[in-house]
Amino acid sequence: MAEETLFSKIIRREIPADILYQDELVTAFRDISPQAPTHILVVPNILIPTVNDTVAGHEAALGRMITVAAKVAKQEGIAEDGYRLIMNCNQHGGQEVYHIHLHLVGGRALGPMLAK
Catalytically active residues are 101
Distance, C-alpha 106 to centroid of its chain: 13
Residue 45, SS3?
coil
Taking the C-alpha atoms of residue 107 and residue 116, their distance in angstroms, rounded to an integer, is 24
Taking the C-alpha atoms of residue 107 and residue 40, their distance in angstroms, rounded to an integer, is 11
How far from 100 is each of 25, 50, 75, CA to CA, in Å? 13, 5, 23
Nearest to 104 by CA among 40, 27, 45, 44: 40
